[in-house]
A and B are shown apart, each in its own frame.
Chain A
Amino acid sequence: MQVVGIDVGGTNTDATLLSEDKRVLAMVKTPTDHSNILASTKAALNKILKLKNDAHPVQLHLSTTLSTNAIVEGKGDSTAVLALAGPGLNIADFGFNFSVYSIQGYVDHRGRIVKEIDREEILKIANQLRIDGTKSIAIVGKFSHRNNSLEIAVKELLETQGWFKVITLGHQLSGSPNFPRRIMSAYLNASVASIQANFVQMIEEIIKTNPIISDVKILKADGGTMGLKESCLRPIETILSGPAASIMAALALVETCADNAVVVDIGGTTTDIAVIVGGEPLYQRNGAVIGEYQTLVPALLTHSIGLGGDSEVHIEEHNIVLGPKRAGTAAALGGDSLTPTDAAIALGLVELGVKEKAIAVLKQRTKGKYDSWLKLAEAIIDAFAYQLSEAIHEMYQRLTKVPVYTVSEILAPKDIRPKKVIGLGAPATVFIPLVAKILNLPYQILPYSAGSNGIGAAAARPTLAISLHVDTEEESLIIPELAYREKIKRRLFFDRKQARRIAIEKLESYAEQMGLSDYGEIQIIEDEAFNVVRGFYTVGRIFSIKAQIRPAVWRVR
């Protein structure tokens, strides 16, 4: 199947058409209209489809800033959270910038219901919310990933009234722990759900008028794709898909990537650093952070630093410091600021713009020991490479200090050290060789420096994850993402193998239900088994298993 990947970025919208054997057939770039993401998407789509010279069907992959913008600009629906908090931290202390109502009812860490909900209380609060104009509701329980029944009971109660157009349940977004993050994730999800639903509806209309489009997938923060239907259930997963698309582009374009590597995407204002371990990108430890919201949304780990081709140049007595702000357009490209790009142009490292203008702006800024334009230009290039390699070094330092909870991980930590530097972005040809030299690593600079996000979007493949929690003493088996719960039989014979098998089967059938077919292998990414002992007798076992479709890309040539 051919694929069109569209990434609606902050400035430009990139579109790429990949052939059936994943060669780049066409790439286009159109300016993004912030106020109308759909129009930007449409424009890029029409432009690239015009370049398509056959009638083969295409699959469309969309990465948009729709949800991200709605969240950052606070344009989501008016949403309130009903929190089944139980005892613990005082929920008022969190200072959420949205309405959170603590309601009665809670479960404990084993998922046992300690206190039931109070229907009257809920209806009273909900009625007031409806009167105040609240459109969407998020229902979130502490430990609801261990027992979702209270969340579901509240939802069913509210549905009998039909007061709210959207109800998001905390457990459906993630099987991971962290109640405040679950609250924020569910709040954001509920607030952008109708925006996503409208978008999906209009995309479906586009498909109707363009029969050549066989299927549409939406890009997620974890670098994978999901179906339109799922994107309406979990729109929050579409946040931060842009940075993910850039990492997926690197994975798609790199020659061999079964090993460890560091991905460096150098832009005008910022440089993003991502980490590949054993061919797979690293994730954020807990979930995506967007603005002031910490969520449970699985997201690729990127570290962004204020260093790029257009960074400010600060000339100090002994050294040169670049960034963190953008200076403006390079003098050589018609601006009036001195930037690292000017230094590269003046030294003839890139052929771009007007070299004389670059030299002129360097001459204006000579100072102290940087008493010639040549010395200054070389020092700027060195400073860039130095600052970037330091940032990479620090990022790896931090990663080696991430807490671990087993003796074996302390004694034999996983080797994450990069074996290669992978460079993306326009300034990469100038700086990546220097950075690689400082880090003493080989490097590779990827083609298609402009518009690679479109390639990443096109090359991405589906991901899907579930968390299985089995507590044999409680005879319970739960998969929160599927709102699935069963009473296990023959609990004494339930073992780890069985738990793993069920996790894989449930994920496969979930994928089928979501209409996914071309996905990569299923892997178990978390696997815990603990005894439950009372006195001196083992009375049960607890299994926690996370299964996912491995984030993968089509190799693009």
Chain B
Amino acid sequence: MITAKHRVGLVFFPAFDWCISADHPEREERLLYTRDQIIEEGLLDIPGIVEYRPIVAEEKDIQRVHICVPSVAKRVSEPHRIAAGGTMLAADLVLDKKVERSFALLRPPGHHANRIVHGSRGFCTINNEAIMVEHIRHRLGPKVRIAIVDTDAHHADGTQDIFYNDPGVLHISLHQDGRTLYPGTGSFLERGGPASFGQTVNIPLPPGTGDEGMLYVTEQLVLPILAEWKPDLIINAAGQDNHYSDPLTNMEFSARGYAQLTDLLNPDIVVLEGGYSIEGALPYVNVGLILALAGLDYSHLKEPDWHPTRLKQSRQVTETIHEVVDQVWNLWENRKKANLQQIFGKDRFYTRHRQIFYDTDQIIEKQYERIRLCNECSGWRLIFSETNEGVGLSFKIAAIIVPWLSCNLCRREALSDFDKLTESKTLDYVYFQDNEQDLFLCK
């Protein structure tokens, strides 16, 4: 009798009645063939693989991460709440020891959603993994160390944005080089904010990277980094668009490669991100992931059009990968030696200006951000954000964010700035987010 070696919780939610728009890649049947394959293979009958119905995330859960402009109700639809809730449930299953590992196999995805949300970008509105991370911290406290390994072909710019200055999170993103693919960011020079410098690890891979390269990166770079940082929990944001058949990217991963990657990473929680080869990749990749998580044999798995020559990766690609691994490892090893004053300045605040494009909703957002450089904590933050030329309404807002384990001084400064800002006549809304106090205000 076949039995899972590791008990796996599967929160499967294909949202068959929801799409962004009729011909959009994020549409009803995205997980149809995946469902067909999972059920036909009999995976859900295997003792130790347990399917769960997602819960619906509440406004409060979303506000622990996002500043939705103007409000959660206006920006976040029910399918997004279910995807976020299903991801939270996946974490609960592991924390409650109902299962050893869990897999939130659901849509819509979330890793391009930033902290400030004016609309959808890269098919994402709210960030499922980030909402889960805050949920976990509200259960386990701020000292829990969480690693997110994002293996989607696109740079996880949203997740990076949210945990950019967060000492409790290690964010590793493997992706096709941003110079060749949306969203364009994810250079290894983006290394995190003043309080968590080096904990944003970007690994840009050349187009044409196959299983061989991906496994090399995992063994030579990702695993050593994880071993050194010693997270309490490993989350894999498992996009499946590195597959050789994906229409949006230029990578060469196979279903078996994904299963091997999962085996190596040994994640506690896996969350589906992108992946739009809905017939040729997703059914097989997802079966591979579930088998790997359950500790079952996936060596008989292969795509109908897979051929051994697929394994061959060009020499040039291999060489580029080796260079990337060396460079990123070098940056990681020397992260604590970096001269932070040189990077973030000697002032009380570090400031940056950014422009963010919402491709899905055609919105341009301009941000001014200020982080308090504090010796006692990771520092409170102020963000001014403004949209224009977008479809529909544009907003001008300010948001104040108090970090976990904030010092009293930062919290006091943040509150007094909030009071001052609420008197401003030029701002539409002013938000205040303090996760440790579980406080969210909007004026």
* Contact of A109 with B283 in the complex, beta carbons under 8 Å: yes
How far is A176 from B291 in the complex, measured between Cα atoms in Å? 22
Q: Are B42 and A89 in contact (CB under 8 A)?
A: yes
Check: B41 CB closer than 8 A to any chain A CB. yes
Residues of chain B contacted by A90 (CB below 8 angstroms): 297, 299-300
**For chain B residues 316-359, which have a beta carbon within 8 Å of chain A?**
none
CB within 8 A of B23: which of A95, A180, A406, A537?
A: A537
Chain B positions within 8 Å of A286 at CB level:
45
B27 touches A88 (CB 8 A): no
Bits for A514-540, please: 1 = Cβ < 8 Å to B, else 0: 000000000000001011110111100
Query: Is A217 an interface position by the 8 A CB rule?
Result: no
B15 at the interface (CB under 8 A from A): yes
Write the chain A residue with the least CB distance to B42.
A180
Contact call A89/B291, Cβ cutoff below 8 A? yes
- Quote the shortest CB–CB distance from B55 to chain A (angstroms): 9
Indicate whether A407 sits within 8 Å of B296 (C-beta atoms), given known contacts A87-B302, A89-B41, A530-B32: no
The answer to whether A406 touches B15, judged by C-beta atoms less than 8 angstroms apart, is yes
Q: Counting CB contacts under 8 A, is B78 at the interface?
A: yes
B32, A401: Cβ atoms under 8 Å? no
Assess A93 versus B297: contact at CB under 8 Å? Given A109-B283, A531-B28. yes
Complexed CA–CA distance, A408 and B78 (Å): 9
Give the number of A-B contacts (CB < 8 Å).
118
Give the secondary structure class of A's interface.
Answer: loop
In whole Å, how far is A124's beta carbon from the nearest beta carbon of chain B? 22
Chain B residues positioned under 8 Å from A294 (CB to CB): 45
Check B40 against A179 for contact (C-beta < 8 Å).
Answer: yes
B301 contacts A by Cβ under 8 Å: yes
Q: Check A109 against B23 for contact (C-beta < 8 Å).
A: no
- B1 near A89 with CB under 8 A, answer no
Chain B residues positioned under 8 Å from A94 (CB to CB): 1-2, 42
Q: Which of B16, B42, B303 has the most CB of A within 10 A?
A: B42
Q: Which of B16, B33, B79 has the most CB of A within 10 A?
A: B16
* A89-B296, A94-B1 as given contacts; A109 in contact with B40, CB under 8 Å: yes
**B39 touches A (CB below 8 Å):** yes
Which of A95, A142, A405 meets B15, CB within 8 Å?
A405
Q: Any chain A CB within 8 A of the CB of B293?
A: no
Residues of A within 8 A of B51 (CB): 403
- The answer to whether A114 has its CB under 8 Å from any CB of chain B is yes
Which A residues are CB-close (under 8 A) to B141? none
Q: Are A109 and B45 neighbours in the complex by a CB distance under 8 Å?
A: no
Asked if A143 is an interface residue, CB under 8 A from chain B, the answer is yes
- B27 x A406 contact (CB < 8 A): no
Chain A residue at minimum C-beta to C-beta distance from B86: A410
B296 touches A410 (CB 8 A): no
Which of the listed residues A87, A181, A538 has the most CB atoms from chain B within 10 Å of its own CB? A87
The CA of A177 and the CA of B54, in the complex, are separated in Å by 23
Q: At the interface, yes or no: B37 with Cβ under 8 Å from chain A?
A: yes
A-contact 0/1 string along B40-61, CB 8 Å cutoff = 1111010000011110100000
How many angstroms between the C-alpha atoms of A40 and B287 in the bound complex?
49
- Specify the chain B residue showing the minimal Cβ separation from A176: B39
Q: Tell whether B122 is near chain A: CB-to-CB under 8 Å.
A: no
Contact (Cβ within 8 A) B40 A405:
no
Set A108, A110, A410: member contacting B54, Cβ < 8 A? A410
Which 4 residue pairs across A and B have the least CB separation, nearest first?
A180-B42, A530-B29, A406-B17, A114-B304
**Other A-B pairs, 6, CB within 8 Å; known A110-B279, A408-B17:** A93-B2, A403-B13, A404-B53, A407-B78, A411-B78, A536-B23
**Residues of B bordering A, CB below 8 Å:** 1-2, 12-18, 22-23, 27-29, 32-33, 35-37, 39-43, 45, 51-54, 56, 78-79, 82, 247, 279, 283, 287, 291, 296-297, 299-304
Q: What are 14 inter-chain pairs, A to B, with CB distance below 8 A?
A: A88-B287, A93-B297, A94-B2, A95-B1, A179-B40, A180-B42, A402-B53, A403-B51, A403-B52, A406-B15, A530-B29, A531-B22, A542-B29, A542-B32
